[in-house]
Amino acid sequence: MATWGFLGWYLSKVRYDSYIRECRQRRRLQSALFDAETDPMTKLLNRRGLERSLFTIVPYCVRNEVPVAAVLLDIDNFKQYNDTFGHSNGDECIKKVAKEIKEATRRKTDLAARIGGEEFLVFLTGLNEEAAKNWALNLQESIEQLSIQHAPKNFTDIVTVSIGIQCGRIKRGEDGIQRLQEIADKELYNAKANGRACVSISGSCYRSKKMEEEYKRKWPVGKRRA
């Protein structure tokens, strides 16, 4: 009887040890995957992580005809910031902006990635143009409220971002995500061409209340930048 009891204990221990090894291996794999698909500085997705996540989100949006907003944003005059305050402070600035982006993209279907030095790409599902514009303006305001000091020669005293947005539905059999991103990139260029610190969507630019007042003060009608 004792022998059978020992055998039962031994088999239970073997199964338990095997289970523990599998759990540890699974955690190691998950950790490795996270490291491979995450930007180490900001903890947002990197390009690889974004592409993999899109494999899940895009089919869902196609099947359910859910609109998608592609949002490209760039920290204004970041080279000037780096040249003035140094790369270490530049990294901290990027982290602070990334934190605000992460706070604004909490839904499971929201994707946020750092795709360049000071450039970020966000995909939002289920938003029309008006909702996407308001989301971007709220993000702009949250970044402006950080009051991160910018370089003395910058057009404004604090760090701001320019944002380009394109909304649309993705159809089966076409590279809709790429198309949305390309148009969002043109909208971002339009935002920069119109004085920066604004949101460009469908060719029109919008600013937070703070930036709109400053823009009007510095560049009254007739003296505005092209």
Q: Which residues are catalytic?
A: 118
Amino acid identity, residue 208? Answer: S
Count of C-beta atoms within a 10 Å radius of residue 23: 10
Closest CA to 77 of 88, 65, 85: 85
Q: Residues 46, 37: contact at Cβ < 8 Å?
A: yes
How many helical (H) and strand (E) elements, i.e. helices and strands, does the chain have? 7, 6
Long-range contacts of residues 78-81, Cβ cutoff 8 Å, at least 24 apart: 78/117, 78/118, 80/150, 80/151, 80/153, 80/154, 81/150, 81/151, 81/154, 81/159
